[in-house]
Amino acid sequence: MPIADSSLSVVSGPLSVATTDDGPLTTDTLSQSRRHDLDWLRAGAVAVVFLYHNARFLSGPYWQLRNPQRSLAVDALVGFIALWLMPLFFLLAGASSRFALRSRPPGRYLWSRSKRLLFPFVAGIFVLSPPQAYVEALLYSPFRGSFVEFYPRFFAARLAMPQRSLGWFFAGFGYHLWFLGFLFVYSALALPLFRWLDGTSSGRAFVSKLAGWTRGWRVLAWVVPTALVQTGLRVRFPNYLDLADFVYWLIFFLYGYLLFADDRFTRAIASLGPTALVIGVLSFFGLVAALYAGPLANWVLRPSASAGFMLFQALWSLDAWAWVIVILSFASRHLDFGSPALDYANEAVLPFYILHEPLVMIIGFFVVSWSAPVQVKFVCLAALSFAATLAVYDLVVKRTRVTRALFGMKARDYQAATASHGTVRRFRSGMPA
């Protein structure tokens, strides 16, 4: 994602979060303190998605870049991360929308979202997606022409596809930037609901009643809407990034907006962390058991309205929500501190997210042909792509107004951008992995 305004209490961007005080956040009050735990989660989520995309190089057949040898351990890790990573991303983005709307009217909010999300998404379609498709074509198709020859074919091939869907547009053209496209659409679709929740007495009363009801184990009841979506839509829309995924992640986006509306929500989640950990572990082992017993693969590839499939989707939803609770609870207890590294990461996460996958693909194009153990390939790919992504961001993207705008960053003068370079040098040796 991720992914920020420089305001202390409001941070805007696709993976941005903001801060609250220790009491309920109502229409009449807004804290000026910062929730560093959410900042760390935002940066951590981008780090995990970076490692996830590198790990997919060694996992399964459904990835743009595939190593000839696979790792079962990586398969298990990728499956575990896939449970909760995107729900967490969209939940954090929902929190960002809440605080962004507190500092600007709806029109300015949508314009800000256009600059942070829509513009980078469109620019990425023309600049970052074709190189990734070109690498795929060289590795897995007979095409051996130049990139200049391939560029118009990238668009022509997709426009000629007979089946049109959300995935066809957002991922077919945008690749990993589908996240930005989805998030922009969510931001626009949910705006009337957000205005009702914050701008009307009935909306505020609804939030207060829901917060009063959400105590103890009732936090787990929030899984019901996501489970209903999975069981109700997945059979008809089984493909990745189709309507089932769209609505499923939309719910987490709405949850992010709600959870930071009242401190009673966050207290309930923090108190349920240990219980959610047990539920998450047991649910995950249940999914693994179904995988090795045989039916899970059939349910994933050939969805049906069977009792087993419905149970699988409900268990998947419960496991995802449990791990999101665990992560939020842990962060609220142990990550509420700032650092120079976090200040740097807050601005870097969006352009890092936008840049990382094309560089992983380009570097992986050479790594895939090495005669080396899979572990060596993974470490080299991750290290080289991380260094390349950070270098392009730090030396190019953040340095000019044009590049900052193309990567969804807030405009800032060149002197301010270069002045921060000394700060980067002071802490980079201690920057968390």
Of 171 and 289, the one with more pLDDT: 171
Do residues 272 and 280 touch, judged by C-beta distance below 8 A? no
Q: How far is CA 294 from CA 60, 80, 291, 300, 310, in A?
A: 17, 18, 5, 11, 16
Residue 429: pLDDT above 90?
no
CA angle 369, 383, 79 (to 5 degrees): 80
- How confident is the model over 29-43, as a mean pLDDT? 72
pLDDT tens-digit map of 348-380: 999 999 999 999 999 998 988 888 888 888 899
3-state secondary structure of 264: helix
pLDDT tens-digit map of 256-274: 999 999 999 999 999 999 9
pLDDT score recorded for residue 60? 63
Of 387 and 24, the one with more pLDDT: 387
CA angle 365, 371, 372 (to 5 degrees): 95
Model confidence at 426, in pLDDT bands (50, 70, 90)? Answer: very low
DSSP string of 294-318, one letter each residue:
SHHHHHHHS--S-HHHHHHHHHHHH
pLDDT score recorded for residue 62? 63
pLDDT tens-digit map of 160-172: 998 888 988 999 9
Residue 25: pLDDT above 80?
no
Four-residue CA torsion sign, 311, 313, 315, 321: negative
Question: What's the number of CA atoms in the CB half-sphere (13 Å) around residue 58?
Answer: 25
Q: In the chain, count of helices (H) and strands (E)?
A: 21, 0
Model confidence at 294, in pLDDT bands (50, 70, 90)? Answer: low
Residues near 416 by beta carbon (within 8 Å), at least 6 away in sequence: none
pLDDT tens-digit map of 200-258: 999 999 999 999 999 889 999 999 999 999 989 988 898 889 999 999 999 999 999 99
pLDDT score recorded for residue 55? 87
Do residues 135 and 66 touch, judged by C-beta distance below 8 A? no
Report the alpha-carbon distance of residue 23 to residue 304 in Å, rounded: 46
Report the alpha-carbon distance of residue 227 to residue 146 in Å, rounded: 47
Do residues 65 and 362 touch, judged by C-beta distance below 8 A? no
pLDDT tens-digit map of 80-116: 999 999 999 999 999 989 888 888 899 999 999 999 9
Structure tokens at 282: 């047991």
pLDDT tens-digit map of 183-205: 999 999 999 999 999 989 999 99
pLDDT score recorded for residue 431? 37
pTM of the predicted model as reported, rounded to 2 decimal places: 0.86
pLDDT score recorded for residue 61? 62
DSSP string of 192-209, one letter each residue:
HHHHHHHHSHHHHHHHHH
Mean pLDDT score across all residues of the chain: 84
Q: How far is CA 431 from CA 45, 57, 352, 356, 387, in A?
A: 15, 25, 15, 18, 13
- Determine whether 380 is exposed, middle or buried from the number of CB atoms within 10 Å of its CB (0-12, 13-18, 19+): middle
pLDDT score recorded for residue 33? 58
Question: What's the number of CA atoms in the CB half-sphere (13 Å) around residue 78?
Answer: 19
